[in-house]
Structure 1
Amino acid sequence: MSDAAAWDARYGDGGFAFGEAPNRGLEALLPRLRPGMRALALGDGEGRNGVWLAERGLAVTSVDWSAAGMAKAAALAARRGVALRTVTADLTQWDAPVGAFDLIAWVYVHLPPDDRAVVAAKAVRALARGGLLFLEGFTPAQEGRRSGGPRDPALLWTGSLARQHFAGLELLECLEGTVLLDEGPKHQGHAEVVRALFRAP
């Protein structure tokens, strides 16, 4: 079974694995958001973050390699009465248009190191001048916790990795520590994360 097929299986039931509410770190960006901004939600799964951004009046593209997830994202957007462009694609293969987005949300997208570098470079190129990139991911301190995240330590984020991958952007915030997750059945309880915000020059 490919990784995409595994996520199709996870998203194939009637519930939402990570809930329907947005990530709280992304939600905290609300004062920076304006209707009409162009947003890209990477690895958006069942669409909780993309749909929330669309509800704020942003023009949103959600990308995920799970067709099942993107179908649920489209259905969620329709139920909420907002427009959402969904793309089913491997992030390493999909080429985002250059300079096309005012906001990129990279929420719990954990990739192998080589793939992470490829997708990060594409994300930087996809940002418009002054555009924001929001990142939240599990750190190695998450080991042993049952609140979610990959078991392979190579897939995890650190603040230093974030600074390395997005070195061409201005760092606005970068925090590492404990948060309390309440994001559907798959993200429940205290978790160790890095949360960072960057801006394109």
Structure 2
Amino acid sequence: MSDEFDHWQQRFSGEDYRFGTAPNAFLKAHAHLLKKGQTALAIADGEGRNGVFLAEQGLDVLSVDFSPNAQAKARKLAAARGVSMRVEQVDIINWSWPAETFDVVAAIFFQFAGPADRAKIFAGIRKTLKPGGLLLLEGYGPKQLDYKTGGPPHLDHLYTGALLKNAFAGFSSIDVREYDAEIYEGSGHGGMSALVDLVGRK
């Protein structure tokens, strides 16, 4: 675990924001589904760009990540944008997810987990959403291994539409889209990418 911790600390050690300070485009495109006063959880939120965006929409946000270095930048970004959000250091693989707590979960590009750990995270997401709660999830699909413009180099860490539909089959509604598009998110993600998006209601 210390090697993993050191990896993320090093990754977020610089002054720059590795994935930029603008929100993820998929998340921003679904801002119309958000309502002021809702509770939101931004998982593996890194340097805070997505949690800060949710806070800017008037949501009560908990931003969780494994790296204190990243979270220091998240707090700095929130202050610069004039919003407040709670920040908590969490290992989402082994976290005790609070039951039926959040109206919204933003799960953007957290593909460090293999199938077994990913199943635990998906179970946590299902558990922590309130009935009727909204899940906004984006990740890379298998073709990303050809593009090499971001994301993990491991096939079993990537998503397919079928995988996500199966993982959240108990939801009242699921919309999954698989497509290729150019994205530019700091130095970490840039160029043509194989994307898989899920918009779901528990």
Asked if TM exceeds 0.5, the reply is yes
Structure-to-structure mapping, 1:38-187, within 5 angstroms:
38-110=39-111, 111-187=113-189
Q: Counterparts of 1:143 and 1:171 in 2: how far apart (Å)?
A: 30
Q: For 1:36, what is the secondary structure of its paired residue?
A: coil
Q: Counterparts of 1:138 and 1:3 in 2: how far apart (Å)?
A: 21
Measured after TM superposition, the shift of residue 21 of structure 1 is: 0.5
TM-score by length of 1: 0.96
Unaligned runs of 5+ in 2: none
Unaligned runs of 5+ in 1: none
After superposition, the CA RMSD in angstroms is 1.1
Q: Which amino acid aligns with 1:24?
A: A
8 Å CA contact 1:147–1:181 kept in 2: the answer is no
Q: Counterparts of 1:119 and 1:50 in 2: how far apart (Å)?
A: 18
Q: For 1:116, what is the secondary structure of its paired residue?
A: helix
Show CA shifts across 1:113-147 (max 9, x none): 11100011011010011110111000111112131
8 Å CA contact 2:99–2:128 kept in 1: the answer is yes
1:28 has 2:29 as partner = yes
TM-score by length of 2: 0.96
Q: Counterparts of 1:5 and 1:34 in 2: how far apart (Å)?
A: 37
Q: Counterparts of 2:32 and 2:146 in 1: how far apart (Å)?
A: 35
Q: Which amino acid aligns with 2:189?
A: H
